[in-house]
Amino acid sequence: MRLGAGTFAAFCVAIEVLGVALFLRGFFPAPVRSSSETEHPAEPPAPEPAAGANSNWTKLPPPLFSKVVIMLIDALRDDFVFGSKGVKFMPYTTYLVEKGASHSFVAEAKPPTVTMPRIKALMTGGLPGFVDVIRNLNSPAVREDNVLRRAKAAGKRIIFYGDDTWVKLFPKHFVEYDGTTSFFVSDYTEVDDNVTRHLDTVLQREDWDVLILHYLGLDHIGHISGPSSPLIGHKLSEMDGVLMKTHAALLAQEKKTRLPTLLVLCGDHGMSETGGHGASSPEEVNTPLLLISSAFERKPGDVRRPARVQQTDLAPTLAIGLGLPIPKHSVGCLLFPVVQGTALREQLRFLHLNAVQLSKLLRENVPSYEKEPGFEQFRMSERLHGNWIRLYLEENNSEVLFNLGSKVRRQYLDALRTLSLSLSRQVTQYDIYSMVVGTVVVLEVLALLLLSIPQALGSKAELDVPLWSPVSSLLFYLLLLVLLAVHVTVCTSAESSCYFCSLPWLAAGGVMMLVSALLCAVLSALAKASVGVQHLRENPGHSNSRWSDVELLIFVGTVGHAVSLGASSFVEEEHQTWYFLVNTLCLALCYEAYRTCFLGADGEPPCCRHTEGGCDSTAPVGDGKASCDVLELSQAHRSPASLDGPQGRDRWLVLASPWLTLTCCRLLRALNTTGVQGAHRPGLGHWLASADHRAALSVLAALSLLVVFALVQSRCSRASKVAMALGLLGVYCYRAAIGSVLFPWQQENKDISKGIVEARFVYVFVLGILFTGTKDLLKSQVTAAASRVRAGGLWEIHSGLVLLAALLSRPHNLPVLVSSLAVQAVMAKFIWKPLRHEATDVTVMHYWFGQAFFYFQGNSNNMATVDISAGFVGLGTYVAFPAALLTLFATYMGPVLWASHLLNFLSSEAGSRSALSRACFCYALVCSLPACAYIILVTSLRYHLFIWSVFSPKLLYEGTHLLVTAAVCVLFTAMDQTHRKP
C-alpha cells in the first residue's frame, strides 16, 4: 500500500507517543500498595530494650501535646521568615524565632517541589515519586500509612481549612473541613479569607485535637508576579497576624489542659526567582519549619539558630508528639529538640521507637540490610540502651548512668541519620520491563523513519508500506510467539509489581503484535535499503547531489543536540545549545546569501544552484515529472528577473536579513534569564515587571501590540482585521485590569480586578478568527480558487493563534512574540523564497527557531518555569481541561507558532504538491531523534546523582513536546490531503 510521507510520519509519531507513554509509566512507577498493607497492624509497639532485667515500659509513650495546629503557607521560602522580609513584614514570627518558646529549622523539600507530593511527604514521612508532579493535577487518595490515619484511628478529631488537595488525599479523615481549589491562581485574597473566617470560632472550641490550615495566597502571588512583588509583603503581614491570633488562642486554651499545645508553621515548598516551583533550586527546596510551644522554654540569652533538617522529619515528630505510632513508610528522623525537655529515659524511648521503625523499613527494602552502616549503629545503640536500662532500674542517680545515657543518645541520633540516608537512596525502584518495551517501540519507529528517508524525501514523497506482508509472514508469528513467551515468563517471575504485566492480556497482546509488526517492517525496509545500495555499487552512474554548507550544519546540529542531552550540564543549559545553533545558522545563511547574490555558484546564475542535478527551475509545476525538491514561486509569479535572483536593492536586503535575525536573537537573550547558572541574574524582564517601571512596561506592551497587528493584518480579511485590532486592544485592557500595565489616564493602580470580562472579550475574537479560517479551509474544497482561499484560511488560523499568544504572554514577553513574527516575515521574504531552500531545510530551520523561542520566553528544563497562571486567564473557577490546554499552549507557544508559520509558508510558496508531505516527515524525524536519544540516555543514567533534579523534568518535557509534534503532524497531513485534491 502506498502512503504519503506525511501520513506515514503521523502514524509513526502516534505509535511513538504510545511507546514514550509506556516508558514514562515504567520510569515513574506509581506506588501501588494493597489495602492490607496500609491497615494498622495489630502488633504492639517495640518494647524498651533491656539487658539482664525486664523493662516495665512496653506501651507507646503518652502524648506530649494536647492540641496541634499546623499552619501551612504555600510557597513559603525560608528567607521570607528568617531573612530581611521576615524582620520587616513578620515581626511577631521573628520575635518567636529569636526570643520566644520555639524551635526553628530550615526543612529541605525534595523535588518535585509541588504541593501534592510535599503534603504526602509531610504526613507520611516518605519520599513521593517524581511522577507525582503530574498526579498533582488530580490527587488520588493516599494509601500509604500516615499521621492523619493514625490520629483518626486513635480517636483524634481533625479539622481542616484550605487547599482542597488535602481533602482529595485524605477523604475520610476530617470531622469538619472547608476546601478551596488550589489551581485558580488568579485569586490570592478570597482563597485565604475562606480559611481565616473560620478561625475565631474554631479556636474557641474544644472539640478538636488537630487543626490544619493551608493558605494559598502567597503561592498565587508568586505565580502571578514573582517573589519581588509588593503584594508579597502584604501577604506576609497578613500571615503574621494569623499566626499571632492562633498562638494567643492556644496559650489561652493551655490554662484548661494539663498538656501544652503545639503550633507548627511550615511551607510545603519554596518559590523560585521567577515565582514558580517544581525544580530543585535552593529557593524552591528550602522552607521554614517553626515549632512553637510553651514546653520549649528558653533561658535568657539562649540563641537558637535554625538547623537544617529534612521535610520528612515532621511526620515522626508529630506522631511522637501526639502519642501515635510512627508511619511505617516514613524515612524521617525525630526532631530531637522537641523531646529534649523530657526525662532522659523518655528521650531514649522516643529515639528507640524511631530507630526500630527505620530498621524495619530498611529490612524490607534492602536485601543486604545487615551490611548497612546504619543498621550496625542501631544494633549497637540498642545493646547500649539495654545496659542503660539495667543500670537505671538498679541505680537512678549515678554519674555513670548519666554519661552512658548521653552516649546512647548520641549513638541513636547518629544511627537515625544514617538509616534515613540509606532509605532515601533506596526509594528509586524502576519498572524495567515497561521501560524496555517502551524503548523497543520507540527505537523501532525511529529506525523505520530513518530507513524511509530516501522514499519519503523523494520527488513523490510516497512510500510503499507493506501492511499485510509482515502480518502474513512466518517471521511475524515467530516473533509474536517469542515475545508472548517472554511476557509470560517475566510476569510470572517478577518479584515487584510491573505496570505492563498488570494490563489485560488483550492489550498486552496488542502491544506485542505491534512490536512484532514494526520489527518485520524495519527488517523489510532494511532489506530494500541494502538492495538499493548494492544496485548503486553495481551501477555507480553520476550523482550530482551534494550537501550545501547550510544542509551540513543542519545535519550536524540536529545530531549534535541529540547527543548533548546525555550530560546534565547541557540539559540544564540547553538554551545555550539552541542559541549557538541559531546564531551559527544565521552566519551560514549570511555566507550563502553573499555567495549566491554576488558570486554565483560554479558560474551559474545566482539562486539556480539546485538545477545542476537535472532539475529545471523553469519547468511547469504541475507536469507530474518534477524531481527537484525546491521551494519555488508559483508559475504565475515567475519572470525572467526572478529566475536570475535578487536584483538591485533586494540583494542587499537578502544579505542583511540574517544579520537582522542574529541581532534580534541576541537582544532577546537579555530579556529573560533561564537555565540554572544564570537563573538568579535579573534580566530586562525583571526590570520591566517591577512596580517602579510599570510606565515603561506599558509603553513597550502597547508598541508591541501595534507591531503585532501590523505584521499579521496584511493577509487577513477585512473582518479579521477588525477582530484582530479589537482583540489586541482587549489584551491591553486585560493586562491593565489585573494591574500589570497602566492606562494613560490611570496613574494609580486602584481598580485592579481579575480581568475575567476583558479576557473573555479577547477569547470571542480568537474564536471568531479561528472560525473564519476554518470556514475558508472548508470552502477551498468546493471553490475554483482553492489555492488562494486555502492560503487565506491558514493565515486566519495563524493570526488567531497569534492573538491567543498575545493574551497569554506576560507583558514583558510581548517583544518575544513581536520578534518571532518579524523573523518569520524577514526569513520568508528575503531568505527562503529568494534562495529557494528545500522544504526539508526550511522545516528544520523552523524547528530550530521554534526551540530557540521556547527559551526566549524564559522557559527552561525545570518545572518551575511553567507559567500555570496562563491557564486561568479569563476563567472564573478552576476547569481542568481548558486550564491544561491554555497552560500547554502558553508553554509551547514558540514551537507552535513556528510550526503554524511553516504550514502557511509551504502551502503558499511550495512549487511541489509534495512539499507539505516531506515537511511533515522531516518535522516528525527531527522531533523523534532527540526524544529517542534521550530515552536511551536516561535509561543508562537512571542512577545518576541528578536523575530526579535534572534528567527527569527534561524527560517530561520531551514527552509533552512529542505529543505536540503528533498534533502538528496530524494538521500537516490533513492539509497535505487537501492539497492533493484537484
pLDDT 10s digits, 392-436: 887 766 778 888 889 999 999 999 999 988 887 765 567 888 999
When pLDDT is cut at 50, 70 and 90, the band that residue 537 belongs to is low
Asked whether the predicted pLDDT for residue 749 surpasses 50, the reply is no
85 against 42, higher pLDDT? 85
pLDDT tens column, 829-859 = 999 988 888 889 999 999 999 999 999 998 9
Q: Mapping DSSP to helix (H, G, I), strand (E, B) and coil, where does residue 293 land?
A: coil
Which amino acid is located at 963 in the chain? L
DSSP state of 426: T
Instruction: Output the pLDDT for position 39.
Output: 45
Residue from 534, 331, 497, 345 nearest 424 by CA: 331
- What is the model's pLDDT at position 37? 45
Dist CA 169 CA 177 (whole Å): 13
Tens-digit pLDDT profile for residues 195-246: 999 999 999 998 999 999 999 999 888 888 788 888 899 999 999 999 999 9
Range 393-398, long-range pairs (CB < 8 A, 24+ positions): 393/53, 393/55, 394/53
Residue 494's pLDDT is what?
A: 60
- pLDDT single digits (tens) 652-691: 888 899 999 999 999 999 888 887 776 667 778 888 887 7
pLDDT confidence of 980, banded at 50, 70, 90? Answer: low
Of 104, 84, 119, 96, residue with least CA distance to 288: 104
* Interval 59-67 mean pLDDT: 89
If DSSP codes are grouped into helix, strand and coil, which group holds residue 209? coil
Dihedral (Cα; 131, 136, 137, 141), 10-degree rounding: 100
Residue 347 pLDDT: 92
Give me the chain's average pLDDT, please: 83
What is residue 19's predicted lDDT score, i.e. its pLDDT?
A: 93
Give bridge partners of residue 266 from the DSSP assignment: 72, 289
CA dist list (Å): 492 to 486, 495, 497: 10, 9, 11
* Position 470 confidence tier, pLDDT thresholds 50, 70, 90: low
Residue 465 to residue 4: CA distance in whole angstroms: 10
Decide if pLDDT at 626 tops 50. Answer: no
Do 583 and 856 contact (CB within 8 A), yes or no? no
The phi and psi torsions of 69 (rounded to 5 degrees) equal -115, 125
According to the model, what pLDDT value does residue 302 have? Answer: 78
Beta carbons within 10 angstroms of residue 337's beta carbon: 17
With beta carbons less than 8 A apart as the criterion, state whether 929 and 562 touch.
yes
pLDDT, average across residues 76-104: 93
Q: What pLDDT band is residue 634 in, cutting at 50, 70 and 90?
A: very low
Tell me the pLDDT band of 53, cut-offs 50, 70 and 90. Answer: low
Which residues face 310 on adjacent strands?
Answer: 108
pLDDT class for 645, splitting at 50, 70, 90?
Answer: low
**pLDDT at residue 135 tops 60:** no
Flag the least confident range among 153-167, 517-531, 774-788, 963-977: 774-788
Ranges 379-383, 745-749, 819-823: which has the least confidence: 745-749
SS3 content of the chain, % helix, strand, coil (to 5): 65, 5, 30
Strands (E) located in 294-360: 307-310
Note whether 601 and 595 are within 8 A (CB): yes
Per-residue DSSP letter, 601: B
Q: Is the C-alpha dihedral spanning 493, 499, 501, 502 positive or negative? A: positive
pLDDT computed for residue 608 by the predictor:
39
Q: Yes or no: say if 263 and 293 are a contact pair by the CB < 8 Å rule.
A: yes
Torsional class of 607: left (φ above 0), alpha (ψ -120 to 50), beta (otherwise): left
- Identify the pLDDT of residue 679: 64
In angstroms, what is the C-alpha Rg of the chain?
A: 33
Q: What is the pLDDT of residues 99-117, one digit of tens each?
A: 989 999 999 988 778 888 8
- Of all residues in the chain, the percent with pLDDT exceeding 70 is 85
Least confident of 211-220, 278-287, 663-672, 973-982: 973-982
pLDDT digits over 603-621, tens only? 454 443 433 333 333 333 3
First to last CA, the chain: 22
157/474: higher pLDDT: 157
Closest CA to 349 of 320, 391, 310, 319: 320
Check if the beta carbon of residue 13 is closer than 8 Å to that of residue 972.
no
Segment 889-933, tens digit of pLDDT: 999 999 999 999 999 998 876 445 678 888 999 999 999 999 999
- Residue 584: is its pLDDT beyond 70? yes
Does residue 945 register a pLDDT over 90?
no
* Predicted pLDDT at 102: 93
Catalogue the long-range contacts made by 149-155 (C-beta closer than 8 Å, 24 or more residues apart).
Answer: 149/38, 149/40, 149/173, 149/327, 150/40, 150/319, 150/324, 150/325, 150/327, 151/209, 151/210, 151/322, 151/324, 153/40, 154/322, 154/323, 154/324
**What pLDDT is stored for residue 69 in this prediction?**
96
To the nearest whole percent, how much of the chain has pLDDT over 90?
Answer: 42
Residue 50: the pLDDT is 74
Beta partners for residue 211, in sequence order = 69, 159
Q: How far, in Å, CA of 750 to CA of 147, rounded?
A: 45
Q: What is the pLDDT of residue 33?
A: 39
Q: Quick one: average pLDDT of 577-601?
A: 86
**Among 62-71, 100-109, 533-542, 685-694, whose mean pLDDT is lowest?**
533-542
**What pLDDT does 929 receive?**
93
| Cell triple for 907 | 502551502
Q: What CA–CA distance (Å, rounded) separates 280 from 952? A: 12
Short-list 702, 703, 668, CA closest to 859? 668
pLDDT tens for 17-37 read 999 999 988 887 554 333 334
Q: Average pLDDT for residues 8-13, to the nearest whole number?
A: 91
